[in-house]
Structure formats: C-alpha cells, structure tokens
Amino acid sequence: GWKMEDVLDEEIKVIQGKVGPEDHVICALSGGVDSTVAATLVHKAIGDRLHCVFVDNGLLRYKERERVMETFERDLHLPVTCVDATEQFLSKLKGVVDPEMKRKIIGKEFICIFDDFAQHLERDLGKIAVYLVQGTLYPDVIESCPPPGSGRTHSHTIKSHHNVGGLPKDMKLKLIEPLKLLFKDEILAVPTAFLKRHPFPGPGLAVRVLGDVTEGNALEILRQVDEIFIQSIKDAGIYDSIWQAFAVFLPIRSVGVQGDQRTHSHVVALRAVTSQDGMTADWYNFEHKFLDDVARKICNSVRGVNRVVQDITSKPPSTIEWE
Ligand code: XMP
C-alpha cells in the first residue's frame, strides 16, 4: 500500500542525493505550514547544513514574529536567524498603491534578503549556500501558472504569488521544492499543532491594507483588529471550521458617533471563508451574536476604527484576499 511515511523517506533520500556533502542550504521560513514542513523535512535530511531565515518585513500580524520564533526554536528545534527588514520593506512600499506592484516589490526584497544572507554565510562563516528551500503547495503553482494537462483553463496570472512567480532568472541559489506535488491534506500526515494554522499570504498585511501600507497607522490598526477577530474565533471554538479568517483595512473614513463625539474614522472589513484548497471558497456564516460581539469589541478597543463591515462574497467572483 501507499504510505505517507514512505513518501517522506523518499523525499529525504532525494534531498540527500541532490545536496552535495559540502553544500549548505537556506530556507526562508514564513511562519506558515508549507515552509515549516519543508524546513523540517530538509533538516531531517541534512541537519545543521540547513540555515533557516525568518524575515520580519514589517507586514506581519500582531506578535507574529515572537510567536513563530518561539515555535521554531522551542517546539521544532529548527536553527533560525530572524532578520528585521521592516525599514527596508516599508521604505520601498511607500506611496505604492497598485496591488501587483506591491507584490512584485515585496517578492524582490525577499530575494535580496536571501542573497544577502547567503553572502553573510559565505563571508563570515565560510559556508557556501547552494540551495534555497521552497515549500510550494500545488494550488499555488496552479494559480500562478497552470501546469499542462491540469485541466485548468485560465492561462493568465491571477495574482503573482511571490513564492512562485517572483523569483529572478539570474538568482544564484538553486531551488529545492520538496512539497511541490503534495497536497495539503497529504502533508497533514506530518504531526505538529502548527499545521492547523490558517494560511497567510507571503506579501503579508500589504495585501490587506488597501492602498499605501505606510499611510498613517494602518498596519498597527489592522494588527489590533485582526488579533481581536482571530482570538474571538478561537474562543468561539470555530477556528478549525474556517479555512481562513482575517481583517482588511480600508483606505476610507466614515462618520460615526462614539460617546457624545462625532467621529470620522476608519472602516475595517472582516473576511472568513471555508474552502478545500483555496481555489474556490464560500464566505463563512457566523452567528449574529458572534458578529455583534466582535464589532463592538473592535470599535471599543481599537482607536481610529468606528465601523466594521463583513465581506459576504465567495470565490469566484472575489478572491480570498482583497489585493
Ligand atoms: P486568493 O486571494 O488568490 O488567495 O484567492 C488564495 C490563497 O492564497 C493565499 N495567497 C498567497 N499565498 N503568497 C502566498 O504564499 C502569495 O503571494 C499569496 N497571495 C494569496 C491567500 O491567503 C489564500 O489562502
């Protein structure tokens, strides 16, 4: 019979065969399931010749950096270097409002950081990084470029997922993509609580702050709103019934009244969907009481927000993310 363990053993042997005995490998950890599983697999294959990097691009969720670094080190025992590149990313994104431009800029900055890290390994530690690990799930590959014979008809790029399409042709590092042909439910055979986390896009909150991400304190407001929404979902015991849930910061203001004050503050949208693979999705139908509680909590505790709306579109015609 067909066993997941056999597939993983096979993958480990392939990696050991591919990576030369003196070669070092860099893995970009995103904090998501794919890269974490990929890193764990490569770590099993080549041990401390794997060097993981976690980039704080300034577009992460509330306390995300602290939370994932703790998980990598304490639970997964992965060797991880955290690079704080907040200034680097946000300065490049300043004034940029076009969604595809934002994605391209972010993808490019990531590659620069990995190249820099590879140079640092070589210059300072005498270790030559030859490969970059990518945890690429099949649906990502399909959306950026449908493989021949996949039966998918669209031939254009819906969105440039930066972990697939954005890699430059002249990149020095070669790719290892151990998960390229595995589907998410197959990967779930690998045991760790980490696997239950909702997916989070590579470009991070940049695709959830509509317009210029550096405008005002949009990122900070979004982090607070998102954290309240996600925590409420966990408290209600429905996190695992939802494929993905998040808040979106809208670059508009509306009039409200808080206390006896007229306000002219921001509007945030809540989005939660169910899905099998992210290719299609239905909006999640919360109980009214839940929505009422969350909206009140957000307006009461997040300064600068006086209106909460819910996104009730499915995919298609919408996509899951707003940008
Ligand atoms: P859309 O918005 O295209 O999203 O319906 C489908 C799924 O993909 C995630 N997503 C991304 N994941 N890099 C990623 O790794 C990206 O650039 C990216 N863009 C969207 C999205 O969160 C959803 O789960």
The Cα angle at residue 221 between residues 57 and 199, in degrees rounded to 5:
55
CA of residue 161 to ligand 1 center, whole Å: 7
Query: Residue 319 annotated as binding?
Result: no
CA of residue 216 to ligand 1 center, whole Å: 25
CA of residue 235 to ligand 1 center, whole Å: 25
Whether 2 shows a pLDDT value over 80: the answer reads no
Task: Name the strands in the sheet holding 80-84, side by side, starting at the edge strand that comes first in the sequence.
Answer: 80-84, 50-56, 24-29, 129-133, 174-176
Whether 143 shows a pLDDT value over 80: the answer reads no
Query: Residue 292 annotated as binding?
Result: no
How sure is the predictor about 75, in pLDDT bands with cuts at 50, 70 and 90?
Answer: confident
Statement: the pTM of the whole predicted model exceeds 0.90: no
Distance (Å, rounded) from C-alpha 213 to C-alpha 90?
A: 8
225 compared with 79, residue with greater pLDDT: 225
Distance (Å, rounded) from C-alpha 273 to C-alpha 145?
A: 24
User: For position 17, what pLDDT does the model report?
Assistant: 94
pLDDT digits (tens, 9 = 90+) for 206-256: 999 999 999 999 999 999 999 999 999 999 999 999 999 999 999 999 999
CA of residue 227 to ligand 1 center, whole Å: 19
Q: Out of 188-197, 282-291, 314-323, which region has the weakest mean confidence (pLDDT)?
A: 188-197
31 lines ligand 1 (CB under 6 A): no
Bin 314: left if φ > 0, else alpha if -120 < ψ < 50, else beta: beta
135 lines ligand 1 (CB under 6 A): no
166 lines ligand 1 (CB under 6 A): no
pLDDT digits (tens, 9 = 90+) for 250-274: 999 999 999 899 999 999 999 999 9
Query: Residue 17 annotated as binding?
Result: no
Distance (Å, rounded) from C-alpha 90 to C-alpha 206?
A: 10
Helices of type H across 71-157 = 86-93, 99-125, 138-144
Distance (Å, rounded) from C-alpha 284 to C-alpha 299?
A: 22
**Of 321, 322, 323, which is best to mutate to test ligand 1, by the most ligand atoms within 8 angstroms of its C-beta?**
321
CA atoms lying within 13 Å on the CB side of residue 107:
19
User: For position 182, what pLDDT does the model report?
Assistant: 61
How far CA 260 is from CA of 34, 255, 293, in Å, comes to 49, 13, 21
User: Which residue reads 């209106």 in tokens?
Assistant: 307
99 lines ligand 1 (CB under 6 A): no
pLDDT digits (tens, 9 = 90+) for 12-66: 899 999 999 999 999 989 888 778 888 988 999 999 999 999 999 999 999 999 9
- Name the percent of the chain lying above pLDDT 90: 66
Distance (Å, rounded) from C-alpha 249 to C-alpha 110?
A: 23
> Quick one: average pLDDT of 61-87?
93
Query: Residue 33 annotated as binding?
Result: yes
Q: Out of 176-185, 206-215, 236-245, 281-290, which region has the weakest mean confidence (pLDDT)?
A: 176-185
CA of residue 320 to ligand 1 center, whole Å: 7
Whether 202 shows a pLDDT value over 70: the answer reads yes
Element (H, E) at 292: helix 288-301
Whether 168 shows a pLDDT value over 80: the answer reads no
Distance (Å, rounded) from C-alpha 18 to C-alpha 7?
A: 16
Question: 3-state class of 80 per DSSP?
Answer: strand
Q: Quick check: 268 and 221 in contact, CB under 8 A?
A: yes
CA of residue 139 to ligand 1 center, whole Å: 9
Task: For the chain, give percent helix, strand, coil, nearest 5.
Answer: 40, 20, 40
User: For position 318, what pLDDT does the model report?
Assistant: 98
Given the CA of residue 315, which atom of ligand 1 is nearest to it? Answer: 5
User: For position 142, what pLDDT does the model report?
Assistant: 46
> Quick one: average pLDDT of 92-109?
97
201 lines ligand 1 (CB under 6 A): yes
The Cα angle at residue 84 between residues 81 and 89, in degrees rounded to 5:
130
